[in-house]
A and B are shown apart, each in its own frame.
Chain A
Amino acid sequence: MIQLELAGENALILYLSAEISAQNLSQLQQLQHQIRSLLDEQLQELLPSYASLLIVLKPQHKGVWAIKTMLEQQLVLSATHSEQQGQLLILPVYYHNAWDLEHVAHKAGLTTDQVIELHQAEEYRVYAIGFAPGFAYLGELDARLATARLKSPRAKVPKGAVAIADRQTAVYPAESPGGWNILGLCPTPLFEPEHAGTAKPLMPFVVGDKVRFQSISKDEFFALGGQLPQELC
Chain B
Amino acid sequence: MSAFVVLKAGVQATLQDQGRFGVAHLGLTQGGPADYASYRIADLLLQNPNPSCQIEVAVGGFSLLALTDTVFCVTGGAMPLTVNGQPKSLWQTHRIKKDDVLELGFATSGLRCYLAVAGGFKLPKDFGSNSTVLREKIGGIGGAALQPGQFLPAVSVYRPLLWALPEKLWPDYSAPLQLGLLPGYQQHWFDESQWQQLYSTDYQVSALYDRMGYRLQGEPLLYQPRALLSEGICYGAVQLPPDGLPIVLLNDRQTLGGYPKPGVVLARDAAALAQCQQGHPIRFYPVSPEQLEAEQRQKSRYWAELAMEFRSLV
Contacts and interface: CB of A to CB of B under 8 A. Distances in A.
Interface string A39-72: 0000011111111111010011001110000000
B176 interface: no
Contact of A149 (B245, B258, B289, B299): B258
Contacts of B264: 6-9, 11
A134 B243 contact: no
A8 B299 CA distance: 15
A173 B28 CA distance: 12
Given A130-B255, A131-B257, A151 B293 contact: no
B177 to A, nearest CB: 17
Of the candidates A8, A18, A166, A193, the one having the most CB atoms from chain B within 10 angstroms of its own CB is: A8
Given A54-B232, A64-B296, A130-B255, A9 B182 contact: yes
Contacts of A229: none
A49 B293 contact: no
Contacts of B187: 5
Interface string A155-174: 10000000001101000011
Given A45-B25, A49-B231, A152-B243, 10 more contacts: A8-B237, A13-B232, A48-B232, A130-B254, A131-B255, A137-B256, A149-B242, A151-B242, A177-B212, A193-B136
B208 interface: yes
B136 A132 contact: yes
A59 B292 CA distance: 13
A7 to B, nearest CB: 5
A48 B25 CA distance: 7
Interface in B29-74: 29
Interface in A121-159: 128-135, 137, 148-149, 151-153, 155
Interface string B283-314: 00000010011011001100000000000000
Interface residues of B, number: 55
Given A5-B184, A51-B229, A130-B232, A151 B241 contact: yes
B183 interface: yes
B184 A7 contact: yes
A18 B230 CA distance: 10
20 contacts: A6-B182, A7-B264, A8-B182, A9-B266, A13-B185, A18-B228, A46-B25, A48-B232, A51-B229, A54-B233, A59-B299, A64-B292, A64-B296, A65-B289, A65-B293, A130-B232, A131-B255, A131-B256, A149-B259, A176-B135
Interface of A: 5-9, 11, 13, 18, 20, 44-54, 56, 59-60, 63-65, 128-135, 137, 148-149, 151-153, 155, 165-166, 168, 173-177, 179, 191, 193, 196, 202-203
B230 A176 contact: no
A63 B236 CA distance: 18
Contacts, number: 163
Contact of B27 (A13, A44, A129, A151): A129
Interface of B: 21-22, 24-29, 126-127, 135-138, 143, 182-185, 187, 208, 212, 225, 227-237, 241-243, 245, 254-259, 263-264, 266-267, 289, 292-293, 295-296, 299-300
B223 to A, nearest CB: 13
A6 B235 CA distance: 12
A54 B127 CA distance: 20
A130 B293 contact: no
A63 B296 contact: yes
Contacts of B258: 149, 165-166
A175 B22 CA distance: 23
Contact of B24 (A7, A64, A130, A202): A130
B293 A63 contact: yes
Contacts of A48: 25, 232
Contacts of B27: 129-135, 173, 191
Contact of B255 (A13, A47, A59, A149): A47
Contacts of B21: 44-45
A20 B135 CA distance: 29
B137 A174 contact: yes
A5 B24 CA distance: 19
B234 A133 contact: no
Contacts of B243: 151-152
